[in-house]
Amino acid sequence: MALDILKIVNISKKFDKIEAVSNLNISVREGEIYGFLGPNGAGKTTTLRICTGLLQPDEGFVEINGEKAALDKVEFRKAMAYIPDRPYLYEKLTGWEYLNFVSEIRGTKNWEEKAEYYFEFFELKESIHRLIEGFSHGMKQKLVIISSILHDPKLLLIDEPMVGLDPKSSRKVRELFKRLSSDGVALVLSTHSLDVAEELSHRIGIINRGKLVAEGTMAELIEQSKTSNKDLESVFLKLTEEGDEVNEKLL
């Protein structure tokens, strides 16, 4: 029986009157890729930020590898990595210096060989010693992905990983995520690319207006959505529209 690496237990978060996340419960097991889907403003990024400890929930808690989310705990920080949708990078460092910096903060030893391997893997080798300010969007994205796996995290939280990546790079990233998953890493993948979610996810959770409206394997979601179409887009639209219809009736 695989261990639950991530446990989101009944979390809620309000911003003024907006309930961004509402009584959310999600567990993700070792080696599992969990596709986290939902319309704009559904609460995905807020949930991921709570998981990292960057944001405190009003209610509930998050555990990663048995540790409560708290940025001041070294063990917690070492267990996970977060790839934000708009990563912040130090533009005046070179790619290599940035990885050195991140590794020092995390206390990661012997990261150099791995870093070199991934620079090669992502065809970034000739850019290792260039300043980040000269990197394209996709190059920065790849650097952030490399920086997030050097310390062998047990959980990767990823917000929109494919935006701006060319087809070859996107395939490389998908290949990497599959490899990490077979090595036992748990991945939460928040994305609007339904084809990517369908290809990679072992289970999918759909969030709408802060609430989990459906969860399961592709087959289970098709069953829950009661649509005659068997593609994720139809399932997604059906499950998120239903929520909207109910909310409109309440208004």
Residues near Mg ion (CB under 5 A) are 44-45
Stretch that binds ligand ATP, among 38-46, 132-140, 142-150, 174-182 (CB under 6 A): 38-46
The binder of ligand ATP chosen from 15, 86, 182, 250 (CB under 6 A):
15
Q: Return the HEC string of the chain.
A: CCCEEEEEEEEEEEECCEEEEEEEEEEEECCCEEEEECCCCCCHHHHHHHHHCCCCCCEEEEEECCEECCCCCHHHHHHEEEECCCCCCCCCCEHHHHHHHHHHHHCCCCCHHHHHHHHHHCCCHHHCCCEHHHCCHHHHHHHHHHHHHCCCCCEEEEECCCCCCCHHHHHHHHHHHHHHHHCCCEEEEECCCHHHHHHHCCEEEEEECCEEEEEECHHHHHHHHCCCCCCHHHHHHHHHHHHHHHHHHHC
How far is 44 from 118, CA to CA, in rounded Å?
A: 28
Q: Is there binding between residue 38 and ligand ATP (CB under 6 A)? A: yes
Residue 18, contacted partner among ligand ATP, Mg ion, none, CB below 5-8 A by kind: ligand ATP
Main-chain dihedrals φ then ψ at residue 79, nearest 5 degrees: -80, -20
12 binds ligand ATP (CB under 6 A): no
- Segment near ligand ATP (CB under 6 A), from 42-50, 68-76, 131-139, 140-148? 42-50
Query: Binding ligand ATP by CB under 6 A: which of 8, 11, 34, 43?
Result: 43
| Residue 49: CB minimum distance to ligand ATP, A | 8
Query: Minimum Å distance from CB 142 to ligand ATP?
Result: 21
By beta-carbon proximity to ligand ATP, the closer residue of 38 and 95 is: 38
The only residue of 44, 142, 151, 238 in contact with ligand ATP, by rule CB under 6 A: 44
238 binds, among Mg ion, ligand ATP, none (CB under 5 to 8 A by kind): none
Shortest gap between Cβ of 207 and ligand ATP (angstroms)? 7
- Cα–Cα distance for residue pair 81/155, rounded to 1 Å: 6
52 binds ligand ATP (CB under 6 A): no
Work out whether 42 is an interface residue with ligand ATP (CB under 6 A): yes
Decide which of Mg ion, ligand ATP, none touches 110; Cβ closer than 5 to 8 Å per partner kind: none
Q: Which residues in this chain contact ligand ATP in the complex, by CB under 6 A? A: 15, 18, 20, 38, 40-46
